[in-house]
Amino acid sequence: MPASSDKNHVLIVNDRQEILDSIARFLSAYDDVKVVGTARGLEGAVTCARELQPHIVVCDYSALKPAMLERIAALRETLPRACMIVMSYDDESTEQQAALEAGASDFISKFNLADDLLPAIRRCSFVT
Amino acid sequence: MSTSHEESHSSPIRVLSIDDNPVFRAAIRRFFDRQPGFVLLDTLADGEAVAVLSVEVPPQVVLLDLHIGSHLSLDLIQVLQQKWSACKVIVLTFDDRPGYREAALRAGAAGFVSKLSVATELIPAMITALQTSPSGGNRDDHAGEQR
């Protein structure tokens, strides 16, 4: 974990740049959150995670499929202490359960990021 | 106060979605599957599909992605309103940078909703838009459709 922990360092993973930009813009309004990086795919995410050592990874569900267990494991290996928040348009309990069983810390709907993302980040806050 | 939405409570509100992201189109279909009182007529990938779209009854609300491909889609609002004069256009986007909301409303949009807030803001925005016109919620109002 980085020495500086006055903010929650967040890495965002999504395949669409407009979503990465939107979430980064949204989170920039909060003093306890710092978006340290964005990645458009899981390979880039692992590289970013290694370099940036974020506290929290906000990752799109589709970026984790089809080999969700292996992909979450790859991120976990790089960031053993990080929280992983999975976001998806599909908020069915089966998908939520699959993500949580694969090692995700939390699961939120992409249709409600404005309300749910910040509380999810703060639930696994590293800021003291 | 009686509103067009209240008057049409027995008829589902007809919705059309235009968005270039297939994942979002599939998601918005599932979203409306769970919304009593609304029916999603179709989902289109771009504005060109509007010209050839034939629907039995016109949509009352069109959800329009602000960016389709690399272009702003605001010119499409006029096209939609020429085809279906009573329809209300709600612009949906991840790009809520300053200025876009005002530009959308100036172009004729009846609402502007961030895609980060669909779960909480989309349905209220649609109802508000429909309340602004007595013809907006009337299922039998086919006058706006140009075939």
- The whole-angstrom separation of Cα A124 and Cα A126 is 7
Chain A contact set for B27 (CB, 8 A):
89-90, 110-111
Contact call for B95 and A89, based on CB within 8 A: no
Is pTM, for the whole model, over 0.90? no
Q: What are the pLDDT digits (tens) for A58-73? A: 999 888 877 777 888 8
- The whole-angstrom separation of Cα B19 and Cα B92 is 9
Contact call for A22 and B120, based on CB within 8 A: no
Which of the two residues, B139 and A50, has the higher pLDDT score? A50
Average pLDDT over residues A89-107: 85
- The whole-angstrom separation of Cα A99 and Cα A102 is 5
> Which residue among B21, B26, B27 sits closest to A16, beta carbon to beta carbon?
B21
Residue B30 burial class via C-beta count within 10 angstroms: exposed 0-12, middle 13-18, buried 19 and up: middle
Tracing tokens 């699959």 back to the chain, one arrives at A98
Tokens of B143: 């006058």
Express as a percent the part of chain A with pLDDT over 90: 58
Reported confidence tier of residue A126, pLDDT bands at 50, 70, 90: low
Average pLDDT over residues B101-108: 96
- For residue B43, the model assigns a pLDDT of 96
> Which residue among A18, A62, A111 sits closest to B23, beta carbon to beta carbon?
A62
Distance from CA of A96 to the nearest CA of B (A): 16
Reported confidence tier of residue B24, pLDDT bands at 50, 70, 90: very high
Please count the other Cβ atoms lying within 10 Å of the Cβ belonging to residue B4: 20
Chain B contact set for A18 (CB, 8 A):
67, 94-95
For the cut 70, the answer to whether the pLDDT of residue A40 exceeds it is: yes
Reported confidence tier of residue B93, pLDDT bands at 50, 70, 90: very high
Q: Interface pTM (ipTM) of the complex?
A: 0.86
